[in-house]
């Protein structure tokens, strides 16, 4: 009998609200065909939305969440959910072949550049044979399929500067590489999808327009909160220069002719 580990990779955007992530993933928490998971690990659980949903949907499943910063924990934690403090940049101490599903979403800004290969190997090591690894990351380079966003646009300048500011520490371009990292870590049946996360309600498709509408204010905040420290402290932009860039980038988010999105 052949025993195979399978994985699925999607690339997406940062800190999605529950509403946006449910819409963009068609209300699916778990992409691989798992019917009754018994043990699930969520790496970098954040506010715990995903781990909590899984624990509630599968009451007989043990769900463990790990995060370096346990400050956004949900108030009501079901009995089958355990939230632990740990650093994903250190080797995992979980037993090998332990989890049916290992989930890692939007942790690229916290994973050290040199850690990625061993991080994915750790995800694979703790996954049962026949289990799955589900990873989601955003590619921070703002795109537009109609070619209207050029290197001169503020959104592209934001992307360029943000990724450059942290490039010696973190790999913010890791999203398109997730599939090859998984394959290199020994997974089989790697399924990699790139989907669009519209930054505002520019789409003529009603579902995509709804996602963009829900996402817009989040994106307005993220442009500032993600980049403030990297651009002012690491690239030494003045606060005036930074604020001007953010104002122009936000205006471009709201310019529906640009059709801006983050690959996910
Ligand atoms: C953008 S949030 C994503 C949260 C959640 N996965 C989601 O998709 O909504 C990133 C989370 O990863 C955590 N994180 C970042 N670096 C980490 C590390 N080295 N070890 C553990 N957690 C980390 C952060 O504390 C934060 O809660």
Using alpha carbons, select from 35, 29, 33 the residue that is nearest to residue 6: 33
Instruction: Give CA–CA dist 165/19, Å, rounded.
Output: 31
pLDDT for position 21 = 63
Domain extent, residue 127, equals 6-140+170-196
CB 50 within 8 Å of CB 113? no
Site to probe by mutation for ligand 1, drawn from 22, 46, 53 as the one with most ligand atoms within 8 Å of Cβ, is 46
Query: What would the two tokens of residue 77 be?
Result: 């934690």
Give the atom of ligand 1 at the shortest distance from the alpha carbon of 42: 6
124 found inside a domain: yes
1 found inside a domain: no
CB 230 within 8 Å of CB 246? no
Q: Give per-residue pLDDT as tens, 138-163.
A: 999 999 999 999 999 999 999 999 99
Q: What's the number of domains the chain is made of? A: 1
Alpha helices in 145-205 (DSSP H): 154-165, 178-184
216 found inside a domain: no
Q: Looking at residue 37, which CATH number applies to its domain?
A: 3.40.50.150
Span 250-262, average pLDDT: 97
247 found inside a domain: no
Q: Ligand 1 centre from 46 Cα, in Å?
A: 5
Nearest CA to ligand 1 atom 13: 44
Q: DSSP character for 33?
A: -
Q: Give per-residue pLDDT as tens, 199-250.
A: 999 999 999 999 999 999 999 999 999 999 999 999 999 999 999 999 999 9
Cα three-residue angle 256-261-262, rounded to 5 degrees: 160
Q: How confident is the model at residue 110 (pLDDT cuts 50, 70, 90)?
A: very high
Residues facing 83 on adjacent strands:
65
Query: What would the two tokens of residue 240 be?
Result: 């005036």
Query: What residues does ligand 1 touch, defined as CB less than 6 Å away?
Result: 14-15, 44-46, 49-50, 67-69, 87-89, 105-107, 110
Q: Give per-residue pLDDT as tens, 1-58.
A: 222 333 333 323 345 555 566 567 877 899 999 989 999 999 999 999 999 999 999 9
Strands 127-137 and 99-105: parallel
Radius of gyration of the chain from its Cα atoms, rounded to whole angstroms: 19
Query: What would the two tokens of residue 67 be?
Result: 């995060």
188 found inside a domain: yes
245 found inside a domain: no
Instruction: Give CA–CA dist 189/38, Å, rounded.
Output: 21
Instruction: Give CA–CA dist 245/162, Å, rounded.
Output: 12
CB 62 within 8 Å of CB 80? yes
89 found inside a domain: yes
259 found inside a domain: no
């Amino acid at each position: 009998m052949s025993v195979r580990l399978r994985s699925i990779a999607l690339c997406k955007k940062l800190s999605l609200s529950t509403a946006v992530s449910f819409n963009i993933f068609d209300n699916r928490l778990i992409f691989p065909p798992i019917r009754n998971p018994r043990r699930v690990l969520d790496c970098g659980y954040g506010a715990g939305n995903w781990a909590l949903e899984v624990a509630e949907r599968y009451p007989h499943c043990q769900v463990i969440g790990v995060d370096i910063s346990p400050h956004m924990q949900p108030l009501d934690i079901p009995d089958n959910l355990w939230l632990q403090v740990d650093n994903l940049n250190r080797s995992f101490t979980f037993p090998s072949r332990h989890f049916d599903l290992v989930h890692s979403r939007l942790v690229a800004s916290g994973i050290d550049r040199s850690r990625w290969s061993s991080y994915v190997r750790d995800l694979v090591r703790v996954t049962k044979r026949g289990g799955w690894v589900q990873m989601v990351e955003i590619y921070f380079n703002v795109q537009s399929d109609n070619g209207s966003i050029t290197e001169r646009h503020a959104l592209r300048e934001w992307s360029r500067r943000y990724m450059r500011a942290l490039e010696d520490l973190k790999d913010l371009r890791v999203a398109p590489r997730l599939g090859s990292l998984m394959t290199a870590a020994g997974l089989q049946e790697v399924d990699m999808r790139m989907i669009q996360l519209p930054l505002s309600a520019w789409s003529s498709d009603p579902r995509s327009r709804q996602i963009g509408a829900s996402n817009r204010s989040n994106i307005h905040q993220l442009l500032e909160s993600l980049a403030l420290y990297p651009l002012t402290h690491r690239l030494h932009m003045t606060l005036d220069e930074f604020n001007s860039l953010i104002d122009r980038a936000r205006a471009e988010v709201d310019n529906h002719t640009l059709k801006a999105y983050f690959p996910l």
